[in-house]
Amino acid sequence: MSEAPECTAEHDQLLFDVFAQRCPSRSTLEHLTGRWGVLAMAALHDGTFRFNELRRRVHGVSEKMLAQTLQALERDGFVHREAQHTIPPKVEYSLTDRGKRTAALLLDLIRDVEAQMPEVIAANERYDAARNG
Amino acid sequence: MSEAPECTAEHDQLLFDVFAQRCPSRSTLEHLTGRWGVLAMAALHDGTFRFNELRRRVHGVSEKMLAQTLQALERDGFVHREAQHTIPPKVEYSLTDRGKRTAALLLDLIRDVEAQMPEVIAANERYDAARNG
DNA sequence: GGGTTGCACTTTCTAAAAGTTAGTGCATTC
DNA sequence: GAATGCACTAACTTTTAGAAAGTGCAACCC
């Protein structure tokens, strides 16, 4: 059996640990690193976009998932939502200052991954060959 | 209708784009940023661990998901797996050089998220209050 | 002027993924 | 000699993601 997860909120000093199962930092991390979270944050790093503009940028996302993702990111204070109650409606999404800082880290990751894709593909082939050959 | 996704493999110069639906970089990114991928990478950043050691570190992961996650990361060349065919078996997991570089970026993210959790929680409360109040 | 398209979503339904449980075969610990 | 640990896999269930359709109105097209 493993020890109790650490994630305390004591004497005015909060300690958060993503390795602890019930730590709220884990779900926040998931909002950011989830399949669509990363891409939405990265897309918004380029500026302000309307809902359907984002949907076109993040190729393959469904309306439902984009809405859900943006709501989670807004609730966490990474994304700012500004709606004009006109007809047709106009809703603009942008990053908050906090969101911008975090999005920069996500972009570092994305660029790193894209840059090493040739090596990843080579590794994939080696791995598969070792089992099928 | 949105334009065709960009992700070309032409004239010896590969261009990868996570925003393109069918680009292989997207699934690689998902392996890293998936719920357990981030945590496995971060755990392995501290050194070499056996399967069940990792399972205890990454609190809450099931055997199935840890195995699946590690296999994907191994296939992508981020993780190295070394098995001794003894009884009982001994299997050690560690990061490759490439994995170490990428894990460092993931750790930056994790630390950033953990550090801003007080603000995230405050944002959550504001968001919820605005709807329920 | 009638049909299509777009806006930002939500709701319903189905398909895929994640989680849970049990089993493997042997060795060490209690 | 019973229990536990090792590193998994396989079968089953639950949760989540994705696909499709609906909303109500307005601007564009021919």
Same domain, yes or no, for A82 and A47?
yes
User: What is the band of B3 on the pLDDT scale with cuts at 50, 70, 90?
Assistant: low
Which of A19, A51, A70, A73 would best serve as a mutation to test chain B binding (most B beta carbons within 10 A)? Answer: A19
Q: Is A133 a member of any domain?
A: no
Q: Is A87 a member of any domain?
A: yes
Same domain, yes or no, for A20 and A43?
no
User: What is the band of B131 on the pLDDT scale with cuts at 50, 70, 90?
Assistant: confident
How high is the pLDDT of residue A9? 64
Q: Is A71 a member of any domain?
A: yes
C-beta atoms of A21 and B124 within 8 A: no
pLDDT along chain A (133 residues), means of 10: 61 82 96 98 98 96 97 98 91 98 98 97 96 74
Same domain, yes or no, for A119 and A56?
yes
Interatomic CA distance for residues A69 and A35, integer angstroms: 9
Q: Which helix (H) or strand (E) is A14 found in, with range?
A: strand A13-14
- Determine the distance in angstroms separating the CA of A13 from the nearest CA of chain B, rounded to an integer: 10
CATH number at B83 reads 1.10.10.10
Same domain, yes or no, for A75 and A113?
yes
Task: For this complex, say whether ipTM is above 0.90.
Answer: yes
How high is the pLDDT of residue A83? 95
Domains: count for chain B: 2
Question: What distances in angstroms separate CA A88 from CA A49, A64, A85, A93, A102, one per listed residue?
Answer: 16, 19, 8, 16, 32
- The residues facing A49 across adjacent strands are A93
Interatomic CA distance for residues B62 and A23, integer angstroms: 18
Which of B66, B79, B96, B113 would best serve as a mutation to test chain A binding (most A beta carbons within 10 A)? Answer: B113
Same domain, yes or no, for B39 and B28?
no
- Determine the distance in angstroms separating the CA of A95 from the nearest CA of chain B, rounded to an integer: 14
Domain enclosing residue B103, as ranges: 35-132
Same domain, yes or no, for A99 and A120?
yes
Q: Which pLDDT tens digit goes with each residue over B84-94? A: 988 889 999 99
CA dihedral A49, A52, A58, A62 (to 10 degrees): 140
Same domain, yes or no, for B10 and B43?
no
Q: Is A132 a member of any domain?
A: no
pLDDT at residue B5 tops 80: no
Same domain, yes or no, for B80 and B122?
yes
Strand D positions with any atom < 7 Å from protein CB? 5-11, 17-22, 24-26
Asked whether the beta carbons of B121 and B129 are under 8 A apart, the reply is no
Same domain, yes or no, for B77 and B41?
yes
Same domain, yes or no, for B1 and B55?
no
User: What is the band of B133 on the pLDDT scale with cuts at 50, 70, 90?
Assistant: low
Same domain, yes or no, for A54 and A65?
yes
Q: Which pLDDT tens digit goes with each residue over B38-66? A: 999 999 999 999 999 999 999 999 999 99
What is the percent of chain B where pLDDT is above 90? Answer: 83
How high is the pLDDT of residue A1? 42
Same domain, yes or no, for A117 and A78?
yes
Interatomic CA distance for residues A131 and A44, integer angstroms: 41
